[in-house]
Amino acid sequence: MKNNLLAIVLFAIFYCSNSLLAQPKKPASDPIARYDAYIQQAVREWKVPGLTVTVIKDGKVLLKKGYGVRELTGPQAAKTEPVTTQTLFAMASTTKAMTAACLGMMVDEGKLRWDDPVTNYLPDFQLYDPAVTREVRVRDLLIHNTGVGNADVLWAAMQIPSDEIIHRMRLVKPSYSFRAGFIYQNIMYLAAGKVLEKVSGMTWETFIRTRIFEPLGMSRTKALFGQITDPNRAKPHVAVNDSVRPINSLKEEGLVDAVGPAGSVWTCPDDVTAWMQCMLDSGRYQGKVLLKPATWAELFKPQTLVTDSEFYPTQLLTKPVWKTYGLGWFQQDYRGHRMNFHTGSLTGMVAIHGQLPDQKVAVYVQGNLDHAELRHALMFRAFDEFALGVDHDWSAEFQKLYGGLKQKARLSERKADSTRVLNTKPSLPLTAYVGSYTDPLSGKADVTLKDGRLYFSLNNVMTGYLEHWHYDTFRLVYDQFWNGRDPLSFVLDASGKVAKLSSSGLDLIKVPGSKQMDNE
């Protein structure tokens, strides 16, 4: 009985094997077409107006394509302009890798060493703690470990020269001990740009153009938003109450130029392929050598650990064993491979540049919707599709992940709203709150009466009406709708007069005797 059963099984295996061999193999679906279809579906599901995706492998461009439109327009608009491979998008913080590479060129020329004290090149550079000031090295400017927390108010909420931004860093109290943690810091990259200017004799924007853009043939790429005159550029958008709206504010878009080395470059797929290939191929591109091999390797060497709280929510699903930061690059393990990547986020614009170096694969995604996190999904999907042979729907998983995070934020906001004490009124007449409020770090805020309501202006950049909430707390509803709303509280002194105002990390003292001007 057993022998008969064995014979039957062997016959079945032989028959099936020969049958399969006899049949012609069905051609596998084209991975590029499959990925392209995946992108199109993701763009629809995430409601992103416009997007570009560029993928290279082994020095060849697999995909370079634009999706959607440059700007959403009303139903009466005669035409919506499509995104093409020439459409300029913000690189945002993916610019940082370029700034690090620029400093690397100076290392190659012997004009700079990574571990030189910053004060060797910027004698006036100063942080809150003099001991830290003495110890900060050029390398530290690039790896977010100086102990200084977020200070983006210095460029996102005011318009002051870049030198003044760096000067005010001495007023920022440390958030943790020097080199004892990791908090993402844009302004240190501005300082790195100033070091570059000192050792090269040219401004950062001139250096990056002559030493990266021109050698790589990136003719459309611009170092600063203020340099863009081409109408073929994407416009930023934000989602407000599930409705996607364009931002039409040149002032808002241009604020990042003050910290250019941290994130002001604009590029397009036709240009960025050269930069991607250069960063995969040891700093080389079509016979040109931008960096020595050792310096190129230093850019991607893990420099500091990244804490869970400072990493991306994607870690909840990709579950990396380690998370580090190089010189302008985040890093993690992914399916047993080292991954280098960096996101870029400005108001209404996103980017991500990722690479699996051992697979010679890189992907670059740019979009024109604020924090459109499909960028992560498309990056991981590209790695799976073109390098690892995995079929995984990251778009669906990340949509669920980030949707859950948004829901938690809404619940938190509702909980805060529930603490409102009804039927209260301000302690003083509205005219008592009018005046100027200052802080050496954050600048100047003016509170005026406008149409019988309190009106707030911070450095003439962030403005809006103050709606009474309860007691001496108001809710600031920004004219710049993309900023949403923030609580703002007035604090009275012992004599019952308004002494200061506080809002979202701001703490400004009222200027004695200040009041609304007659012509306001």
From first to last of the 520 residues of the chain, give the pLDDT tens digit: 434 433 433 333 333 333 333 333 334 589 999 999 999 999 999 999 999 999 999 999 999 999 999 999 865 444 689 999 999 999 999 999 999 999 999 999 999 999 999 999 999 999 999 999 999 999 999 999 999 999 999 999 999 999 999 999 999 999 999 999 999 999 999 999 999 999 999 999 999 999 999 999 999 999 999 999 999 999 999 999 889 999 999 999 999 999 999 999 999 999 999 999 999 999 999 999 999 999 999 999 999 999 999 999 999 999 999 999 999 999 999 999 999 999 999 999 999 999 999 999 999 999 999 999 999 999 999 999 999 999 999 999 999 999 999 999 999 989 988 999 999 999 999 999 999 999 999 999 999 999 999 999 999 999 999 999 999 999 999 999 999 999 999 999 999 999 999 998 899 999 997 775 433 4
Looking at the structure, tell me whether residues 100 and 218 fall in a common domain. yes
Q: Are residues 207 and 131 in the same domain?
A: yes
Q: Is the dihedral of CA 203, 366, 287, 104 positive or negative?
A: positive
- Count of beta carbons in the 10 Å neighbourhood of residue 201: 10
For residue 513, which phi and psi values (nearest 5 degrees)? Answer: 80, -5
- Tell whether the torsion through CA atoms of 478, 150, 341 and 290 is positive or negative: positive
* 400 in the same domain as 436: no
- For 65, 291, 292, 362, the CA distances from 278, given in Å and listed in that order, are 20, 9, 12, 11
CA distances from 116 to 101, 139, 200, 208, 303 (A): 17, 8, 15, 22, 16
Are residues 434 and 378 part of one domain?
no
pLDDT of residue 504: 84
Residue 346: closest CA among 240, 482, 244: 482
The structure's pTM equals 0.91
* Same domain assignment for residues 351 and 495: no
Do 225 and 167 have their domain in common? yes
Q: Are 145 and 185 in contact (CB under 8 A)?
A: no
**Alpha carbons 112 and 199: distance in angstroms, whole number:** 7
The answer on 398 and 470 residing in a single domain is: no
Q: Is residue 495 part of a domain?
A: yes
* 36 is a domain residue: yes
Q: Of 410, 438, 455, which residue is a domain's last?
A: 410
Among 376, 410, 444, give the residue marking a domain's end.
Answer: 410
Do 406 and 434 lie in one domain? The reply is: no
Spell 61-93 as b/e; 16+ CB within 10 A means b.
ebbbbbbbbbbbeeeeeeeebebeeebbbbbbb
Q: Which two tokens stand for residue 98?
A: 């370029």
151 domain residue, yes or no: yes
**Cβ–Cβ contacts within 10 Å for residue 423, how many?**
5
Asked if residue 10 is part of any domain, the answer here is: no
Q: Are 405 and 313 a contacting pair, CB within 8 Å?
A: yes
Structural domain that includes position 448: 430-510
The reported pLDDT for the residue numbered 75 is: 54
Is residue 268 domain-shared with residue 311, that is, in the same domain? Answer: yes
In a domain, 18, yes or no: no
- Is there a domain that residue 266 lies in? yes
CATH code of the domain covering residue 479: 2.40.128.600
Number of domains forming the structure of the chain: 2
For residues 374 and 491, state if they share a domain.
no
